[in-house]
Amino acid sequence: MSYKLEKITSNDVEKIFSDADETKQSRLRARGGFFFDCSDISWAIDRGRGSYLLRAPTVGARSDYVHFYFHFQSTVYELRVKRFGQKETAKLDQLPPEAIRDEFFDELKAAFLVLQSEYDVPLYALNLDETDGSQQ
């Protein structure tokens, strides 16, 4: 695991869209100019493995959720973090296959450690139950 915090370039945006399924592509387009000026958007990326984590745009005029996309072994997973004052809950949209689950969660946590310097997401929000993808 060798994640680094980098600014997203226009070439990176093309990769993100090609990696995402139709639903996630739609969400990325929902906020119009989210990627219009990439100079202010960062991601945690391990270029050697092709894995990355980025904060996704907020969908809807007002959302209590913060969305993140994590690309791991050819699949883009969505993590939603909901804030309740000082408390937070987190949930994955889908779980990876059981055979790679331990590696997946190790990678996700490593990527968040890098991205955390850019966004205020406490690590306790990542205490996910590895059997169903919800917060413990």
Q: Which of 30-34, 63-67, 101-105 has the lowest mean pLDDT?
A: 30-34
Band of residue 55 on the pLDDT scale cut at 50, 70, 90: confident
DSSP string, 93-107: SSPPPGGGHHHHHHH
Q: Choose from 27-36, 57-66, 78-87, 118-127 the range with maximum mean pLDDT.
A: 78-87
- pLDDT per residue over 7-39, tens digit each? 988 889 889 999 999 988 887 777 655 666 556
Domain positions in the chain: 4-126
- pLDDT per residue over 106-116, tens digit each? 999 899 889 88
pTM above 0.75, yes or no: yes
Assign 3-state DSSP to the chain and report helix, strand, coil percentages, each to 5. Answer: 30, 30, 40
- Residues of the chain with pLDDT > 70: what percent? 71
Q: Are 126 and 109 in contact (CB under 8 A)?
A: yes
Model pLDDT, residue 66: 80
Tell me the average pLDDT of the chain: 80
